Structure 1
Amino acid sequence: MDNINKATQEIDLPNIGKPATRALTNAGYINLAQLTQVTELEILKLHGVGPKAVRILNEALKEKQLSFAKNS
């Protein structure tokens, strides 16, 4: 996803801190629904995303009755 597309699309992520948000958006994740396609471990591999951000993301996903993909 190029920067122009990211700028025109609304980012729908909880407040997880600027480094984690930047890491997710740079990887192309701008909304919670996209995170259902990846595992927690894949997200943790992104520089700037730590356990606290993943915990907050998990809580936000659960509120929408969603979850990260299961480890295979």
Structure 2
Amino acid sequence: MATEKQKKTCKNGHTFYKSSDCPTCPTCEKLKEPASGFLASLSNPARNALLHHGIDTIHKLSEFTEKEILKIHGIGKASLPAFRKSLEEQGLTFKKSEG
């Protein structure tokens, strides 16, 4: 049985329909997306996971090993090629694993 979508309005006045209790406004989420930079090439979950951990620049990303980044909830192996490409474009790499 399909759940009926309910009309909602966010604090910014955007109207949207949701079939769940999720309060996230799709319009506000779209406006938060960066237009350029390495964060723009990521999915919302990956971008939000990095931002939650204070990783908002490619230089900050380069301070972590791949293994450390993969431990962050919301980051999967599928994100690594995009990370590597963005790092390479800036002449950077992930921090080397010790050992």
TM-score by length of 1: 0.79
User: Corresponding residue for 1:4?
Assistant: none
2:69 aligns with one of 9, 31, 43: 43
Amino acid paired to 1:18 = N
Q: For residues 16-53 of structure 1, what are the alpha-carbon distances to aligned partners after superposition, in whole Å with 9 as ceiling and x for unaligned?
A: 10000000000000010101111011000011101111
Closer/same/farther in 2, CA of residues 58 and 15 from structure 1, 3 Å limit: same
Work out which structure has the larger RCO, using CA pairs closer than 8 Å and 6 or more positions apart in sequence. 1
The gaps in structure 1 that reach 5 residues or longer are 1-10
Runs of 4+ residues over 4 Å off in structure 1: none
Q: Of Structure 1 and Structure 2, which has the larger fraction of its residues in strand?
A: 2
Other structure's SS at 1:37 match: coil
Query: Aligned pairs, how many?
Result: 62
Match of 1:69 in 2: 95
Higher share of residues assigned helix: 1
Runs of at least 5 residues in structure 2 that lack an aligned partner in the other structure: 1-35
Q: Which structure has the greater CA radius of gyration?
A: 2
Distance in 2, Cα, partners of 1:54 & 1:29: 15
**TM-score, normalised relative to structure 2:** 0.58
CA distance in 1, matches of 2:40, 2:81: 11
TM-superposed deviation, 1:14: 4.0
Distance 1:14 1:57, change over 3 A: farther
